Amino acid sequence: MAKIEEIASAKGVTPAQLALAWLYAKSSSLNAKTVPIPGTRKRTRLVENLAAVSIELTNDEVAMLEPLAAAVQGIAV
């Protein structure tokens, strides 16, 4: 999480925005139309999430985030 916060801070965005921007970048690089739908209950978070659409990541930034994303394990339901 510290590395994500470091990259987000350097870009002037929140970690959540960085994560959404990474998802957009990944879907674009795969030529897939993907739209993440983050759950939110607060208007401020909605505005924050929508702002993530305009964040552009460089190839180097996407590459830095790859191993961090690979380390995340989902929970089976």
Mean pLDDT of the chain: 86
Output the pLDDT for position 43. 94
Output the pLDDT for position 48. 92
pTM: 0.80
Output the pLDDT for position 31. 77
Three-class DSSP category at 55: coil
Residue 76 in any domain: the answer is no
Write the CA distances from 7 to 10, 21, 36, 60, integer angstroms: 5, 12, 20, 11
Domain count across the chain: 1
Residue 75 in any domain: the answer is no
Residue appearing with tokens 């089976």: 76
CA distance 46 to 33: 21
Output the pLDDT for position 36. 77
Residue 38 in any domain: the answer is yes
Residues of the chain scoring pLDDT < 50: none
Output the pLDDT for position 42. 93
Count Cβ neighbours within 10 Å for each residue of 53-74 and write b for 16 or more, e otherwise: eebebeeebbebbeeeeeeeee
